[in-house]
Amino acid sequence: MLDQMDAMPRHETMHFTSLNNHSPHQLLVPTHQCDALKIQRFGPNAYSDNPKGRHPDGPKWMCPEYLVTPDDSPCIIFSIGSHGEFQFEESIHKFVGDKCKIYTFDCTGTWSNPTTEFHPWCISDENKVVDGKIFKTLSNMMKDVGVSTIHLFKIDVEGYEFQTLRTLEKEPSDALPKQILVEVHFGAPFSYSDLDTRVDSWLKPATTFYRAIDKLGYSIALRERNPTSECCAEYILIKEP
């Protein structure tokens, strides 16, 4: 099916040039079933913190069953991207307490919050320092903080999620997170810079994104369109055994 979509002539994909109606997010269909009775929402103004049910940009859905460890050791949560905002970490800490250890990474500044261990690093496909900013591979991040498994991996990098997923392609399978929470942006010029595709139609970036997560062994468990921004949707990705 993806090959057929990629082979479609340009005039048949032009309705995907607008993000308002025929959004490419409609092509990314959930195929993995989480426990619907346990699914939780975390982040700024999440439903658990806001009785009025406001639906803002920012919150993430999560499947809690993938936080369980076989020996009751603390589960590991990596949060990529912060810019000094820790609502997600604070919200999920209320839910998991001391059952999980939370790490936050962002090389664009230095911040702190009692719910997480902060490191001024950005994720990359190589270890390097650029303009004073520290970039590390996921494997090196894990090694430097002393963990061997990531149970939850939250990506909040405002359009650079494609590059983040690309870095994971160079990681060994056992380093890949069991669950990824990510907001996918179609329409941000910088978000597709490494997709090797035209930008006059968002069909190709959508199929390329699907191929990327499939190659990594992930399935979509949830997709939620952002009601305030047509370019974006929140996803839960689950690593298949």
Q: Is residue 15 part of a domain?
A: no
Q: Which pLDDT value is given to residue 55?
A: 44
Q: Is residue 101 part of a domain?
A: yes
Backbone φ and ψ of 72, nearest 5°: 60, 20
Structure tokens at 231: 């370019």
Q: Is residue 12 part of a domain?
A: no
The sign of the CA dihedral 77, 78, 80, 83 is positive
Q: Which pLDDT value is given to residue 18?
A: 54
Place of tokens 């270890």: 127
Q: Which pLDDT value is given to residue 13?
A: 63
Q: Which pLDDT value is given to residue 50?
A: 47
Give the structural domain span for 224: 2-7+22-239
Q: Is residue 183 part of a domain?
A: yes
How many domains does the structure of the chain reveal?
A: 1
Three-state DSSP state, 56:
coil
CATH value at residue 136: 3.40.50
Summarised one tens digit per residue, pLDDT across range 102-140 is 999 999 999 999 999 999 999 999 999 999 999 999 999
Mean pLDDT by 10-residue block, N- to C-terminus, for the chain (241 residues)? 67 58 73 93 61 55 93 94 90 93 96 96 96 97 98 86 88 96 73 49 74 94 81 90 84
Q: Which pLDDT value is given to residue 34?
A: 95
Q: Is residue 113 part of a domain?
A: yes
CB 132 within 8 A of CB 109: no
Q: Is residue 13 part of a domain?
A: no
